[in-house]
Amino acid sequence: MSGVVRRFRGLPLRSRLALLVATAVAVAVAAAAAVCWFVVRDALVDSLDDALSENRVQDTWVRGMIDDSGQCRRTIVGQNEAPNLFKQTVQVVDQTGGSCVVLGTQPVELDQQDTEVARRDARNAFHDATASNGTKYRVFTYPLEGTPYAVSAARPLSEVEDTLNNLTLILVFVAGIGVLGAGAAGLWVARTGLRPVDRLTAAVEHVARTEDLDLRIPVEGDDEIARLSESFNSMTASLASSRDLQQQLIADAGHELRTPLTSLRTNIELLARSEETGRAIPPEDRKALLASVTAQMTELAALIGDLQELSRPDAADGSGKIQVIALHELTRAAIERARLRGPELTITAELAPWYVRAEPPAMERAIVNILDNAVKFSPPRGTVEVTLDRGHLTVRDHGPGIPADELPHVFDRFWRSPSARSLPGSGLGLSIVARTVHQCGGEVALRAADGGGTEASVRLPGAPTPPPETPSAP
């Protein structure tokens, strides 16, 4: 059985579907044919019973066949003497089970039911019996009134079996045609129903062979195949978008890396040429070159760190240690770092306690990036206002602000405002901020502040108090 199942599973889907349809129809036709055969058989037997009971031999004629001693005067009667009872055999049955044939050519085997009728223990009886020559009969036994006998009339079952045999041939023929038709219909249904699957298979093979992610499958209707086609189209669109973003990231990263690398290479070549030619570079110029090399190396390290942070897939966020951290303390530490970068600036802070679940290094980096932007774009001796109230962190600067048409792009990777391209940075800081905040289930926005400047707004889910037995600070 298991071998048959394995062979069936090894067939193509179209063949399996056609075979299942043909099998289902064959079972249904076979069941219907069997029911039809038994119903017709019962009807024919009932009809034969009715004929036996209606064409009964006259009692006076049967009594004439019995002498005064109770014996049959004649044991065999020719069919020509009773033409209305053609093919019918009639026997007289006594109460001891004995019998004699008064009409017919051979005796028919008696049953206990026939003796019971002769004894008047039963009104009549119907049953099947076999004659002495092996012919099967249908027997009807009824009491012979005024005598201690019963009359047993029998007719051959061939009247029923011949009809049933013809019916069997017809049913087999019709069932065979039905199964063949079902097989053909199954193949047609399989081909028609699986045509969209064939198109989908061809599309998948084409994408696998050519990596053409622009291919789309026409969607027809709203059935399972249509939903599968929509899912395939959505998948290829997502893959195409992901590939475009990857290519854009590589191109942008290459562009951002090229500038500091070119400058670094130029400065190193100047230092190397000075050593090779023996022409000393003035101390002040040499110091400036070394400071430029250091700054460019720092910029490269920061850019590579940003790229590594952004290269982590979202599914791997859980790889870091998520814990409850005190956002107000983390923000206070970031403010101290920002004061070192802009000692001439005034940074005010109003920080209410707030605890969130996040990766401490990632959250700290995000807050530092927001403050670095505020410091970078603040005017000399300007003010940066930082507030944290019930999970709403705002950082307000008084710089030139961001034009309204540029605000939708501030969180894009490598995007930099035209006015900020001369300043240090890679354009990845706010992308990292948005990524970190979204991973914590929060929201981040950048908008123009009233009275000038820019306001960064971050909302993070959390609580004003830490949960029990949980560290309150990273």
Mean pLDDT of 21-37: 84
Banded pLDDT at 472 (limits 50, 70, 90): very low
Give whichever of 62-76, 276-290, 455-469 has the largest mean pLDDT.
455-469
The class level of CATH for 316-459 reads alpha beta
Cα–Cα distance list, 21 to 17, 27, 130, 181 (Å): 6, 10, 45, 10
Extended strands (E) in 232-380: 323-326, 346-351, 355-358
Report the alpha-carbon distance of residue 24 to residue 88 in Å, rounded. 45
Spatial CA neighbour of 57 closest among 27, 20, 34, 83: 83
Q: CA triplet 54, 60, 66: central angle to 5 degrees?
A: 115
Length of the chain, in residues: 474
Report the alpha-carbon distance of residue 4 to residue 106 in Å, rounded. 54
Return residue ranges of the chain for CATH 1.10.287.130.
224-311
Q: Which residues contact 342 (CB under 8 A, 6 or more apart)?
A: 375, 378, 384
On average, the pLDDT of the chain sits at: 78
Return residue ranges of the chain for CATH 3.30.565.10.
316-459
Q: CA triplet 365, 323, 335: central angle to 5 degrees?
A: 30
User: Has domain 224-311 been given CATH number 1.10.287.130?
Assistant: yes
- pLDDT digits over 397-423, tens only? 988 887 777 777 777 765 555 555 445
- pLDDT digits over 122-177, tens only? 888 888 888 878 888 888 888 888 788 888 888 888 888 888 888 889 888 888 88
Tokens (6 digits) for 43: 């009807």
Tokens (6 digits) for 45: 């037997």
Instruction: Give the DSSP per-residue string, 141-154.
Output: EEEETTTTEEEEEE
The DSSP element (H or E) to which 90 belongs, if any, is strand 89-93
> Token pair 């003497």 is at which residue?
81
More confident residue, 355 or 436: 355
Bridge partners of 456, per DSSP, are: 395, 446
Cβ–Cβ < 8 Å for 145, 59: yes
> Token pair 């008064």 is at which residue?
102
- pLDDT digits over 44-82, tens only? 888 888 888 877 766 666 766 666 555 665 544 444 554
Cβ–Cβ < 8 Å for 427, 414: yes
